[in-house]
A and B are shown apart, each in its own frame.
Chain A
Amino acid sequence: MARKAMLVDTSICMGCKGCQAACKEWNDLPAVLTRNTGSYQNPPDLSAKTWMTVKFIEYEADNRLQWLFFPMHCMHCTEAPCVFVCPTGAMHQVEGSFVVVNTDWCIGCRYCVQACPYDVARFDSDLGWVRKCTFCIDRVENGLPPACVKTCPVGAIQFGDRDLLIARARARVEELKRLGHPNANLYGETQLGGLNVLYILLQPPAVYDLPEQPKLPSRSIALNWLSGAIAAVVLPTFPLWWIIKRRMDAEAETSSSKGGKPV
């Protein structure tokens, strides 16, 4: 089956936050307490209870003001760093596209939270496991589009065959350039093996705080565990020897009533 993906055309996104509300509603996520800190962006960041938020960016360059909207959620990377580092395999990939957490297996180690270059995965301290956007896999597997796709009033978020979406996106980027957006670009085609949530951006990725070319962590799980295991054996060796030696020395001296415990 052709790989599925989402394409977000930020040039027609109007920042209505319908996608945010739909995500909360579908996934039964509670509202979080927020304050207005001087921005329309709320909640200000993703969290275990907020799997989608729209970034609001005021960008002024070349005498032109833009208010850029960026609906942010998990990028569902093909070579996902979170999957790469997960020691139990709780974070896994389905059908080459969707990166989801099997909460039965998640031990809450938060390696994935560290590894994600987009700072998406977050630890839920109430539940004890990591949570993030699921690509609405429960909907997709039942022939429905993700909640954010369904809700978007202008069709900024689209869902379908990845190759078709990329073809559409490339044409749209060219059109945007003709319409006076010389920096328009498609983000997600190649990053991390290809993101399954692609974005048509009006400005370079850095303007949206996106890494140009995010990298996988340099070591794999197995190596991590092996080195951890080795370290677990090797590292205590010297201090253990020193403790035991001190104790033997101390016992050799013992006829005194000092008798302190070994350190």
Chain B
Amino acid sequence: MTNHVADLANSDVILIIGNNTAENHPTAFRWVIKAMERGAKLIVVDPRFTRTAAVAHLYVPIRSGTDIAFFGGLINYILQHKLYQEEYVREYTNAPFLINPAFGFADGLFSGYDPVKRTYDKSSWAYQLDGEGLPRRDPTMTDPNSVFQLLKKHYSRYTLEVVSAVTGAPKGALEEAYRIYAQTGKPDRAGAIIYAMGQTQHTIGTQNVRALAIVQLLLGNIGIAGGQVAAMRGLHNVQGSTDLAALYNNLPGYLAAPTNKDQSLTDYLKRVTPGAKDPKSLNWWKNYPKYIVSLLKAWFGEAATRENDFGFNWLPKITAGRDYSHIPLFEAMLRGDIKGFIVIGQNPAVGGPNSNLERKALEKLEWLVVVDLWETETATFWKRPGVNPEAIKTEVFLLPAASWLEREGSVTNTGRWVQWRHKAIEPVGDSKPDLWITNQLIRRVRELYRKEGGVFPTPILNLNWNYGEGLPAAQEVAKEINGRALADIRDAEGKVIVEKGMQVPGFAALQEDGSTLCGNWLYSGYFTEKGNMAARRDNSDPTGLHLYSNWAWNWPVNRRILYNRASVRPDGTPWDPKRAPIRWDPEKKAWVGDVPDGPQPPGAIYPFIMLPEGVARIFCTPLADGPFPEHYEPWESPVPNLLSKQQINPLSKIWESELNRRGDTAKYPIVGTTYRLTEHMQAGGMSRNLPWLVELQPEPFVEISEELAAEKGIKNGDRVIVETSRGAAEMVAVVTKRLKPFHVNGRVVHQVGIVWHWGYEGISRGDSGNLLTPHVGDANTTMPEFKAFLCDIRKVV
């Protein structure tokens, strides 16, 4: 989130799309209720009338996979009715920038598309540069090559009629939603857009999120109290896990993973460190060298020296351009390319797309280690219903893990707050905390390398790994993540700001000469000489803006509202004096309120400090599939694309095979989507083993409209089979008024929704929703398209 959960209470309008907040984030939802108690309006956009829609002011039904059509219509509405916050757009976004005149869009494709390579040559997407190498701007935003005019032209195609025809949403409801939300374009009005998997789990997922980000920028809703792009992450510590590089293309702190093209630290830094010529651009990523070197010192300690590039070449490198994410990982596994697999607190046999394919893939492993509290479907894939265990050669180890109540450490929530958790009870039986398990693995593997040599033992032997023999102290790990000085650190005047051996107060003290170590620059400041900042529990709120700045600690540097310099005009006066997260005090010559995005006085720097331009990108070049979001249909869709001749995202990632076939409309005419319930948790390990939760939702089900039920002769409570080209699942039919058929361009399109928590283990067993979903992914992230596919449904006779 660009702000945080409690900040939702400051919003005047909250738009929830591709997320069912009340359902899956009930505790966070209290802040939405608080906003509503102040008079805020809640709009829910969803194919299905959910538990969140039940308390909303306005519900807009849209067919799964048509979010860009919805947002395109909103962008068009905002521009046509001039409801954008003009000064914000001009000063703080790249709307006035001029683009290469060769840029164009036709027939669903942007300029530069190579149909053979299925990629874009982006040279026509570049900014025009002036003599000093800075982007040329038109402050009037009337130049036809300005981003603003290109935006207007692109979304002029998303009229109310077209959007209604594509989404199936009634025009009246669309217009009402647009009217209410666009009001937040006023400087003293704040709007938040809450989203989650309903946006990201599509072959156009990244562009879905880009579309809502553009809306927020047009309305001046970023960097202000109550205005944010609110991603609701689905677990209590998934933010923490990605912050610490759970994704293959990252190192901790979202540093880029090195590739085979980076033969030295210099090569790497040249590739990843952005340059910025504009003196008003803070360009924070220019500090890359300090962060990567400090990370290397944390990992390799004294073995990392300037002479050996701080051990840079001991880091594993990915092949440049290759995709190592979940889907290709399982495709590789299916081919027999992966020998061993360690699965920690995850259950891909239920949670991964195309369960039949992924379970088959597991059979090819030589060995599998599952670290979990429960014997999950992944741990028992080898004896699942329908397979002969004799035929499967995988050696499976199940390591019992201690739960979060039985160990201590920090968790980072979706609002970037790092909160310390204390241990409540001793682990049950032989179960062990993850820290103990990891420590044992590394110690024993290192010992084997010492004794037996092996291929390239250097990185393992040089690891700075000294946590003792038993359970590492979580505080020691936390301190290393925060960072400390390995020599006296001096400022520009030569004064010592951090003594040797002391914790660094924040990432501003990190050095590129090897005199600091830091496990994650983003977390620097969380465990300092002042102590464990994440354990703070002061809930005072002096600004009244729900900042709670002394409760726990958030990254970066406890700044609660990101880009908060955009909450004031270039002269420093707040857009909304009643709700200013930061305010310039001319006497103190400092900002008061939230931690500002840089102490520089008003107007000295641009607010979007993480981008080299310093201003936010309405036109965004680095993405694979286009600088503007464009509606394409899902890989499996019942209708042709009304917006252009290009049916699907030309850059969607597809693995078509016998086990992953694309269904056609004739056989599978119904749109299917998947989702979760309040009563269960993800792949079900945590919840389908607890009687009190199983009692609340005992069986997997599919929700279908009364109209579809009548067509198929299905009664409420009947058992039905839902089937796609990939598999079939038996479910209970919940016949409901909360799903209605969509009228898409004059055709009736039915949609059903399937819950995916179930599998063949646990107290409550049932078919997995993911038996139905495909191995296709987003053009940028390869996020699987769980949310829109084709299926059919029939009664079990």
Q: Which residues of A contact B (CB under 8 A)?
A: 11-18, 20-21, 24-25, 30-40, 42-43, 58, 60, 65-69, 153-155, 179-180
Contacts and interface: CB of A to CB of B under 8 A. Distances in A.
Nearest to A13: B55
A37 B51 contact: no
Interface in B682-706: 691-699, 701
Contacts of A14: 22-23, 26, 29, 51-52, 54-55
B375 interface: no
Given A36-B699, A42-B695, A42-B698, A18 B736 contact: no
A227 B512 CA distance: 96
9 contacts: A15-B51, A15-B678, A24-B692, A36-B732, A40-B734, A67-B54, A153-B27, A153-B29, A153-B30
B738 A37 contact: no
Interface of B: 22-23, 26-27, 29-30, 33, 36, 49, 51-55, 57, 59, 678-679, 691-699, 701, 715-718, 732-738
Contacts of A38: 715-718, 732-735
Contacts of B55: 11-14
B33 A155 contact: yes
B717 A37 contact: yes
Most chain B CB within 10 A, of A24, A35, A40, A43, is at A40
B30 A155 contact: yes
Contacts of B36: 12
B757 to A, nearest CB: 12
Most chain B CB within 10 A, of A13, A31, A36, A179, is at A36
Nearest to B678: A16
Contact of A31 (B22, B692, B701): B692
Most chain A CB within 10 A, of B22, B695, B717, B738, is at B695
Given A16-B678, A38-B735, A66-B54, A154 B33 contact: yes
A31 B699 contact: no
B26 A34 contact: no
A154 to B, nearest CB: 5
Contact of A18 (B26, B33, B691, B715): B26
Contacts of A154: 26, 29-30, 33
A180 B42 CA distance: 13
The 4 nearest A-B residue pairs measured at CB: A38-B716, A31-B691, A38-B717, A14-B22
Nearest to A22: B692
A69 B53 CA distance: 12
B692 A153 contact: no
B451 to A, nearest CB: 51
B695 A69 contact: no
Contact of A16 (B22, B49, B691): B22
Nearest to B27: A153
B45 to A, nearest CB: 15
A39 B644 CA distance: 41
A38 B732 CA distance: 7
B751 to A, nearest CB: 16
Contacts of B716: 37-39
A105 to B, nearest CB: 30
B698 A65 contact: no
A68 B694 CA distance: 23
Most chain A CB within 10 A, of B57, B717, B718, is at B717
**What does DSSP make chain A's interface, helix, strand, loop or mixed?**
loop
Contacts of A17: 678-679, 696
A27 to B, nearest CB: 12
A21 B696 contact: yes
B697 A40 contact: yes
Nearest to A14: B22
A35 B606 CA distance: 58
Nearest to B736: A58
A13 B679 CA distance: 15
B51 A58 contact: no
Contact of B701 (A36, A60, A66): A36
Given A35-B698, A36-B732, A37-B716, 17 more contacts: A11-B55, A12-B36, A18-B26, A24-B692, A31-B691, A35-B732, A37-B732, A38-B718, A38-B733, A42-B695, A58-B738, A65-B49, A65-B59, A68-B54, A153-B29, A154-B26, A154-B33
B692 A32 contact: no
A54 to B, nearest CB: 9
Nearest to B59: A65
A180 B36 CA distance: 14
Contacts of A42: 695-698
A37 B699 CA distance: 9
A32 to B, nearest CB: 6
Contacts of B699: 35-36
Contacts of A33: 695, 698
Contacts of A35: 698-699, 732
A110 to B, nearest CB: 25
A49 to B, nearest CB: 10
Contacts of B54: 14-15, 66-69
A180 B701 CA distance: 33
Contacts of A66: 54
B694 A31 contact: yes
A153 B25 CA distance: 10
B469 to A, nearest CB: 38
Contacts of B53: 67
Contacts of B23: 14, 16
Most chain A CB within 10 A, of B691, B715, B733, is at B691
A203 to B, nearest CB: 13
Contact of B33 (A12, A34, A40, A179): A12
Contact of A36 (B27, B57, B717): B717
B502 to A, nearest CB: 41
Contacts of A179: 57
Contacts of B51: 14-16, 67, 69
Contacts of B696: 17, 20-21, 34, 42
A69 to B, nearest CB: 7
Most chain B CB within 10 A, of A11, A14, A60, is at A14
A43 B26 contact: no
A173 B51 CA distance: 21
B678 A34 contact: no
A35 B30 CA distance: 30
A179 B55 CA distance: 12
Contacts of A153: 26-27, 29-30
Contacts of A180: 57
A58 B737 contact: yes
A37 B697 CA distance: 11
Contacts of A69: 51, 54
B133 to A, nearest CB: 52
A98 to B, nearest CB: 25
Nearest to B36: A12
A65 B699 CA distance: 26
A49 B769 CA distance: 31
A230 to B, nearest CB: 47
A32 B737 contact: no
A34 B692 CA distance: 11
A16 B26 contact: yes
Most chain B CB within 10 A, of A17, A60, A179, is at A17
A197 B1 CA distance: 39
B351 to A, nearest CB: 21
Most chain B CB within 10 A, of A11, A35, A67, A154, is at A154
A68 B737 CA distance: 13
Nearest to A41: B696
Contacts of A11: 55
B29 A21 contact: no
B693 to A, nearest CB: 7
Nearest to B697: A42
A42 B701 CA distance: 14
A250 B182 CA distance: 100
A153 B33 CA distance: 10
B67 to A, nearest CB: 22
Contacts of B33: 12, 154-155
Nearest to A58: B737
